[in-house]
Amino acid sequence: MHKNILKVTEIVKQLSGVEVLYKVSFEVGEWEIYGFLWPNWAGKTTTMKCIMGLITPENWEIEILWDKTLSTQTKSKIGFMPENTYLYKYLTGREFLRFNGKFFWLKWENLEKKIEALLEKVGLQEAGNKYLAEYSKWMLQRVGLAQSIINNPKILFLDEPMSGLDPIWRKMVKDLIVELRNEGTTIFFNTHILADVESICDTFSIINRGNIIVQNKRVKDLQKSLEDFFIEEIEKSNNSLEN
């Protein structure tokens, strides 16, 4: 087991007076690909926003990159692709990446090289000088992904990165995740696509209605098909929540 790069302890979060996270706890080891599952409305995005410091929970302890305070130094080593990225429509792809890169004090030539490499990685070289207003949905997803790794993050958070139905996009994102992990990045991603967990994750947790119902499970320790395992766990959890 590697050292834990992320340790989340008992997050409690209310939204509009309703508790949407109940003591959410889990741990992510360094260099893992970690999947956070599963149903819609479970609390995945809310958990990720708490970890990123975008919203403040009622109760929590979050240690990320061995820091409990989410310092600026720590933030500079984190990458994040939100579910719906807000993008400045009147910047070109290149300008958008340049704008984001400047937050990380990258040297000018290094940044320009990095931007070209990223555009190539996500298949947008040709579109780099077009305004984002002219991008299609899948192109916006790609530029959002490129943005999230411009700082060579130590840990990368992706909220439903494979939710587009396009199989070519899904394959590209999966390959990229594996490539990044092989280069030393830890990846934590939200998903409801089981096949993607099975094919690339080392470890996963399942959250259902704000409760962690399976915690830090190794994919290779599964005794049955992933699908059967999930359905059983969700049914058990729904039954016990209703009683």
Ligand X SMILES: Nc1ncnc2c1ncn2[C@@H]1O[C@H](COP(=O)(O)OP(=O)(O)O)[C@@H](O)[C@H]1O
Does the protein bind ligand X through residue 46 (CB under 6 A)? yes
Can you tell me the distance from the alpha carbon of 201 to that of 97, in angstroms, rounded to the nearest whole number? 28
Name the binder of 128 from ligand X, Mg ion, none, CB < 5-8 A by kind: none
Which positions touch Mg ion (CB under 5 A)? 44-45
Exactly one of 28, 32, 43, 62 binds ligand X (CB under 6 A); that residue is 43
Closer residue to ligand X (CB): 92 or 208: 208
Q: How many residues bind ligand X (CB under 6 A)?
A: 10
Binding partner of residue 42 among ligand X, Mg ion, none, CB under 5 to 8 Å per kind? ligand X
Which does residue 41 bind out of Mg ion, ligand X, none, counting CB within 5 to 8 angstroms by kind? ligand X
Min dist. Cβ of residue 27 to ligand X (A): 19
Q: How far is the CB of 125 from Mg ion (least distance, A)?
A: 31
42 vs 51, which CB is nearer to ligand X? Answer: 42
**Interface with ligand X in residues 12-41 (CB under 6 A):** 15-16, 20, 40-41
Residues near ligand X, by CB under 6 A: 15-16, 20, 40-46
